[in-house]
Each structure stands twice: as C-alpha cells, then as structure tokens.
Amino acid sequence: MRRITEQAVEAFWNRTPFRKDNTEVRVDGDVYMLLHGNVIAKWAPDEIGGDDLSVTLAGWPTPTTRERLNGILGSEGCAVFQRDGEQFFEIDGNTFKIGDSDWVSIPTDPAWSKLDPSDGVPRYISRKGHAKTLNREEVRRIFNR
C-alpha cells in the first residue's frame, strides 16, 4: 500500500481532515474520502444507531481508486477488485459484480452481521431478520445533498 493511502486511511478512520496530492479526507460530521475531487467513500452514523460505511469507484475503476478503497475496506474484511475488466466487491467470502458508479453500503454495526446473497444484491440481514440495503433514492438523499 502506498504511503499516501496509509495516511489518508488513518485520517479517515480518525475523522481528521487530510489533503495530499490527489487524495483528500473531509470531515463535516460525516467523513468523506475524495480522489481527484470525487467522493469514493463515506462514513456516517445511520438511522439505527450504528455506523454505515459506503464506497464507490465514482465512475473511475482505476488501480488507484481500488487501492484507496481497499485501504479502508481491509479493516472491514472486504475488498474491491477487477477481473477481466469487470469490477467486483467481496465480503464474507461472497463476491458480487458492481458497476463503476454503484455505491456499496457496508454496515459496521455488529447487529447487521449476516450477508444474504440470494438475489446477487449485497444485503445485510439483522439478527432479528430486518433487511438493510440502500435504494437509489436513499443514495441520492445521502450523497447528493
């Protein structure tokens, strides 16, 4: 992992503003990582009292974008990778194809622990059986204020 990625990831998890070259971490209650001015990660408290981490390639499926995201995702046991020109997200031993601009939400609240890959959509199921996933309207509301 590049030094700039290590520094940015440390700032991201410590909720500390950071800026170096093409990478920036902004904090305004929520924490954002930007690459070339594009938001690629957001960490924010969610409605049920946990913290949600959401990531995207922001339309740029480059090795640098994947490296910055994997710096963040490594501590969550997840990864973004490319195979045969297509992008994938891996979590809990399950792999899902993702689009270049798709947002993937990774609930970090331990109550949301079981992944349900039955329909190919990353979705978490709570221990009480409640599903948690972001629809397009929620993505717009959260990320395009």
* Domains in the chain: boundaries: 3-143
pLDDT > 70 in the chain, percent: 68
User: What's the rounded Cα separation, in Å, for the pair 120 and 106?
Assistant: 15
For the segment 45-73, the average pLDDT, to the nearest whole number, is 84
The pLDDT of residue 68 is above 70: yes
| 120-144 residue pLDDT tens | 444 443 333 334 454 445 444 444 4
Give the pLDDT band (50/70/90) at residue 9: very high
- Report the length, in residues, of the chain: 145
State residue 97 phi and psi, 5-degree precision: -75, 135
Q: Residue 23: CA atoms inside 13 Å, Cβ hemisphere, count? A: 22
pLDDT at position 50 is 53
The pLDDT of residue 76 is above 80: no
User: What's the rounded Cα separation, in Å, for the pair 79 and 21?
Assistant: 24
Paired sense of beta strands 78-83 and 31-35, if any: unpaired
Give the pLDDT band (50/70/90) at residue 78: confident
| 25-54 residue pLDDT tens | 999 988 999 999 999 999 885 544 456 788
User: What's the rounded Cα separation, in Å, for the pair 39 and 19?
Assistant: 13
Contact 54, 104 (CB under 8 A): yes
The pLDDT of residue 114 is above 90: no
Q: Which two tokens stand for residue 133?
A: 């996933």
pLDDT at position 108 is 60
E-only strand ranges, 5-93: 18-20, 23-27, 31-35, 38-45, 51-56, 78-83, 86-91
Contact 18, 24 (CB under 8 A): yes
